[in-house]
Amino acid sequence: MDKVKVTINGRDYEVPAGMTVLDAARAANIDIPTLCYLRDINEIGACRICLVEVSEGGKPSRMVTSCVYPVSDGMVIKTDSPKIQKARKLNLELLLSNHNMDCLSCIRSTNCELQKLCRDYQVNSFYFTGERTKTTKDESSPSIVRDNSKCILCRRCVAACHEVQAVGVIGANNRGFDTEIGCAFESELAETACINCGQCTVVCPTGALHERDDTQKVFDAIADPTKHVYIFTAPSVRATIGECFGYEPGTEVEGKMVAALKRLGFDGVFNMNLTADLTIIEEANELIERVKNGGVLPMITSCSPGWIKFCEHYYPEFTENLSTCKSPQQMFGAILKTYFAQKNGLDPKDIFVVSAIPCTAKKFEVGRNGQAASGYPDVDVAVTTRELGRMIERAGIDFRSLPDEQFDQPFGTATGAGEIFGATGGVMEAALRTAAESILGRPLEKLDFPDVRGTAGIKRATYKLGDLEVKVAVVSGTANAKKLLDRVKSGEEDVTFIEVMACPGGCVNGGGQPYQPPVVRNNVDLRAKRAEVLYTVDANNKLRRSHENPVCKMLYDEFFGEPGSEKAHEILHTHYVKRGL
DSSP letter for each residue of 221-275: HHH-TT-EEEEEE-TTHHHHGGGGGTPPTT---HHHHHHHHHHHT-SEEEETHHH
- Tell me: pLDDT of 44 over 70: yes
**Mean pLDDT of all residues belonging to the chain:** 96
Q: State whether 427 and 481 are in the same domain.
A: yes
Q: State whether 320 and 443 are in the same domain.
A: yes
- The last residue of a domain, from among 211, 237, 266: 211
What band does 467 get if pLDDT is binned at 50, 70 and 90? Answer: confident
What band does 521 get if pLDDT is binned at 50, 70 and 90? Answer: confident
The domain that contains 203 carries what CATH number? Answer: 3.30.70.20
Q: State whether 101 and 16 are in the same domain.
A: no
317 domain-assigned: yes
DSSP per-residue letters across 345-387? T--GGGEEEEEEES-SHHHHHTTSTT--TTSS-S-SEEEEHHH
pLDDT of residue 124: 81
State the Cα–Cα distance between residues 241 and 262, nearest whole angstrom. Answer: 15
Query: How many domains does the chain fold into?
Result: 3
Among 45-54, 269-278, 461-470, whose mean pLDDT is lowest? 461-470
- Tell me: pLDDT of 301 over 80: yes
Q: Minimal CA–CA distance to 577: which of 196, 238, 214, 314? A: 314
What band does 579 get if pLDDT is binned at 50, 70 and 90? Answer: very high
What band does 218 get if pLDDT is binned at 50, 70 and 90? Answer: very high
pLDDT of residue 465: 86
pLDDT of residue 1: 67
pLDDT of residue 529: 96
State the Cα–Cα distance between residues 230 and 378, nearest whole angstrom. Answer: 12
- The last residue of a domain, from among 161, 178, 211: 211
pTM: 0.95
> What does the pLDDT average to over 417-446?
94
Q: State whether 186 and 114 are in the same domain.
A: yes
413 domain-assigned: yes
Q: State whether 191 and 220 are in the same domain.
A: no
Q: Tell me: the pLDDT tens digits for 122-165?
A: 998 777 888 889 998 999 999 999 999 999 999 999 999 999 99
Percent of the chain with pLDDT over 90: 93
What band does 405 get if pLDDT is binned at 50, 70 and 90? Answer: very high
- The last residue of a domain, from among 211, 228, 261: 211
Q: State whether 178 and 71 are in the same domain.
A: no
Q: Tell me: the pLDDT tens digits for 191-212?
A: 999 999 999 999 999 999 999 9
pLDDT of residue 523: 86
Q: State whether 71 and 134 are in the same domain.
A: no
Alpha carbons within 13 A on the beta-carbon side of 475: 26
Q: State whether 62 and 161 are in the same domain.
A: no
pLDDT of residue 129: 80
Domain that holds residue 320: 216-572
- Tell me: pLDDT of 425 over 80: yes
